[in-house]
Amino acid sequence: MIIAIDGPAASGKGTLSKQLAAHYRLPHLDTGLLYRGVALAMTIARQPLEDAALAEAAARNLKLDDLSDPRLRSAEMGGAASIVAAIPAVRAALLDFQRAFANQPAGAVLDGRDIGTVVAPHADAKLFVTATAEERARRRVRELRGRGAHADEAQILADIQARDARDGARSVAPLKAAPDARLLDTTNLDIDAAFRAAVALIDGA
Ligand SMILES: Nc1ncnc2c1ncn2[C@@H]1O[C@H](COP(=O)(O)OP(=O)(O)O)[C@@H](O)[C@H]1O
Ligand SMILES: Nc1ccn([C@@H]2O[C@H](COP(=O)(O)OP(=O)(O)O)[C@@H](O)[C@H]2O)c(=O)n1
């Protein structure tokens, strides 16, 4: 079974995908890490994030080992990822790996922005996970503070809104629900309730 989970920043995709992967005993890929990995490699090399040729090269050189770097999880890297993610050659360079992961015989859970629309349009179940921008900002602030990082709620909200706008407006694989995706609004659901709602949608699909 292939499960595609898409949605905007801090909607709970990653949390839900990990729970679903454990529940259905499937491997999981957080595809946002790939774009964060490209952005981190370019930042370390002091390269401009908008340079399409350098960004494509960074995407082609990305190694799985690079994806465990804790610096990938910072708020800055989320914004930087959405800049490189708007470059079509970067998306093309990362596509085969994601498709191969989705199509492995065991099946898989993938989360990102374009899983149900581009990476695995034939997925058995597609969820589009949302929550209001204010609630998503609160969640991200709690998460960052929990890790001991500084987090200003107004700034995080502005970053999330800017990222939603950039991800929704880009020409290639913009953030949008696949026509056959089921919507899951988690604004008023805690982590456990969101998981139960997701399983009900998937098992009923
Ligand atoms: N339904 C929920 N209610 C409250 N907090 C949540 C919920 N889902 C996720 N979270 C928390 O919100 C933060 C962002 O979740 P995450 O799964 O990383 O989102 P995404 O992968 O969409 O960016 C995490 O700290 C997570 O623990
Ligand atoms: N499948 C994907 C996954 C992420 N991305 C980009 O990568 C950025 C970071 O994604 P992420 O999933 O790690 O971010 P969060 O939702 O966890 O904040 C997003 O803002 C998108 O621009 C994408 O374009 N396509």
The string of DSSP letters for 102-160 reads HTSTT-EEEEESSIIIII-TT-SEEEEEE--HHHHHHHHHHHHHHTT----HHHHHHHH
Q: Whole-model pTM?
A: 0.96
Range 2-198 has CATH code 3.40.50.300 = yes
In this structure, the chain runs to a length of: 205
Minimum-distance ligand to the CA of 129?
Answer: 1
ipTM above 0.90?
Answer: yes
Atom 15, ligand 2: residue with shortest CA distance: 9
> Is 13 assigned to a binding site?
yes
Over residues 19-35, the mean pLDDT reads: 98
> Is 204 assigned to a binding site?
no
- Residue 36, class by beta-carbon neighbours within 10 Å (0-12 exposed, 13-18 middle, 19+ buried)? buried
Query: Could you tell me which of 20, 37, 13 has the C-alpha nearest to residue 140?
Result: 13
> Is 174 assigned to a binding site?
no
- 169 pLDDT above the threshold of 90: no
The 10s digit of each residue's pLDDT in 49-71 is 999 999 999 999 999 888 999 99
Ligand 1 atom closest to the CA of 18, numbered from 1: 17
For the chain, the structural domain boundaries read: 2-198
Confidence at 205, pLDDT banded by 50, 70, 90: low
Q: If you average pLDDT over every residue of the chain, what do you get?
A: 95
* 101 three-class SS: helix
Over residues 103-118, the mean pLDDT reads: 96
* 45 three-class SS: coil
Given a contact cutoff of 8 angstroms between Cβ atoms, the answer to whether 197 and 189 are in contact is: yes
pLDDT at 30: 97
